[in-house]
Chains A and B, each alone.
Chain A
């Protein structure tokens, strides 16, 4: 089965792809923290913030359509949270866009700010995973001091999430092939529970087999890596540009637009 892999563009080659994973990760992290620390009603500055991830996506030759699709895919969760804001905060607010004046409420501004922050930080995250192979990202995280155990968990999660999706897909197809009418809520729930149970049991079996495969190859709980990633001039330049962009936004653009 073919999936829409989250890192399907990570195997391309571009100036961004060639950057060290640590630099990209730290830049994304600092950028995300900066965006999240902006005022809860500040919307206009988010447009300026979006320039960063957009530039990275364009330089890395990642189709913007793909990036937007990924943002939309996970947006329902945030949408529910954002749309609840206008309901509980109806304090009137006047917003001016140059000559245009708009009367709205704090709740709506919060709603747009949440959606904007989500879209901008998600674009930054997509830019990171679309330009960095997952293995390199794990190695980079290891070098940054992330505990071994967490890296193993992340590595196995990334590897087996696709196997699990495949299995779930096969079970759903098997059900669809034999389900010729609507059975009603209770029987449907019973079937769904059986399907989840079967998936769980097979996952446990898989975990046992992986354990055998790891033990068979001498695994003793320590994760060894051969990666020799080094910081090059281009990484220093990227880091410098990223930090300058973030500082510019936070200390110069934010006071003007907020």
Chain B
């Protein structure tokens, strides 16, 4: 069976010549929860964009054995759900119901199927009563959960999340950890917060300067105080 994600010698340069990712090779098994950790500017967000087929670099990115190319983009995007860093970028429809229904409608599903998926996604993130609300009426924690619901309604096999814990208070952060830990999908989470990463992911990939520095069990990497300090990170507090 093909791996959920397979990246082979992938490199990407920004238009100004800055190398964002250099010779990245990694693979992720189905159902694995992986934390992409590293300091700001390490290339975490860029790698997530490459997984969603939003960047064209050199090397190969395969999702479920299918190479990401212009021709396969539509299939790739039904398999990979990308949740952006700022939920305001993710929630662009006038109300939450329409936002969560946006993906399934574009997939060409029947109205009843769409409604059922929207109801399921909103129930999973605990926002069933908020379906009619406009995104600007939601709190930061609700926006984050809503952004995840917009992805869940498409039922992707892989979900990528860019700094999902950003700006959340402890209660909302814990709710998010519980939500993510309970999802059956393969999760790739980019974060600078080691406590959050340790609570959600069993595997960690440490990136710095666009290169993979370490790739192992979360505990092995995140509790290595010397390694963490060398790359401007902290050991989790618990």
Known contacts A216-B82, A226-B105, A226-B111; A133/B92 CB under 8 A = no
A218 to B155, CA, bound (A): 13
**Inter-chain contacts of A215 with B (CB < 8 A):** 54, 77
Nearest CB in chain A to that of B112: its residue: A226
**Inter-chain contacts of B77 with A (CB < 8 A):** 215-218
**Inter-chain contacts of B92 with A (CB < 8 A):** 155-156, 159-160, 210, 213-214
A220 to B108, CA, bound (A): 11
A132 to B136, CA, bound (A): 17
Contact assessment for A134 and B94 in the assembled complex, using a CB-CB cutoff below 8 Å: yes
Instruction: Indicate if B181 sits at the interface (CB-CB under 8 A).
Output: no
* Min CB gap B110→A, angstroms: 10
* Min CB gap A209→B, angstroms: 4
**Inter-chain contacts of B102 with A (CB < 8 A):** 214, 217, 219, 224
Instruction: Indicate if B43 sits at the interface (CB-CB under 8 A).
Output: no
**Inter-chain contacts of B164 with A (CB < 8 A):** none
Which of B67-84 touch A at CB < 8 Å?
74, 77-78, 80-82, 84
A88 to B102, CA, bound (A): 54
A212 to B135, CA, bound (A): 18
Known contacts A3-B136, A162-B136, A224-B106; A212/B54 CB under 8 A = yes
A216 to B135, CA, bound (A): 19
Q: Scan A102-138; emit 1 where CB is below 8 A from any B CB, else 0.
A: 0000000000000000000000000000000111001
* Min CB gap B5→A, angstroms: 16
Contact assessment for A212 and B154 in the assembled complex, using a CB-CB cutoff below 8 Å: no
A163 to B132, CA, bound (A): 19
A155 to B98, CA, bound (A): 11
* Min CB gap B71→A, angstroms: 15
Contact assessment for A218 and B106 in the assembled complex, using a CB-CB cutoff below 8 Å: yes
Contact assessment for A133 and B107 in the assembled complex, using a CB-CB cutoff below 8 Å: no
Contact assessment for B132 and A133 in the assembled complex, using a CB-CB cutoff below 8 Å: yes
Contact assessment for A225 and B136 in the assembled complex, using a CB-CB cutoff below 8 Å: no
**Inter-chain contacts of B150 with A (CB < 8 A):** 217
Nearest CB in chain B to that of A155: its residue: B94
Quick one: which of B86, B89, B95 contacts A135, CB cutoff 8 A? Answer: B95
Which of B131-168 touch A at CB < 8 Å?
132, 134-136, 150-151, 154
Contact assessment for B52 and A216 in the assembled complex, using a CB-CB cutoff below 8 Å: yes
Instruction: Please give the residue numbers on chain B whose beta carbons come within 8 Å of chain A beta carbons, in ascending order.
Output: 49, 52, 54, 74, 77-78, 80-82, 84, 86, 88-95, 97-98, 101-103, 105-107, 111, 114-115, 132, 134-136, 150-151, 154
A159-B94, A226-B114 known, 6 other contacts, Cβ within 8 Å: A133-B132, A135-B95, A138-B94, A163-B136, A206-B88, A226-B115
Instruction: Please give the residue numbers on chain A whose beta carbons come within 8 Å of chain B beta carbons, in ascending order.
Output: 3, 5, 7, 11, 133-135, 138, 155-156, 158-160, 162-163, 206, 209-210, 212-220, 224-226, 228
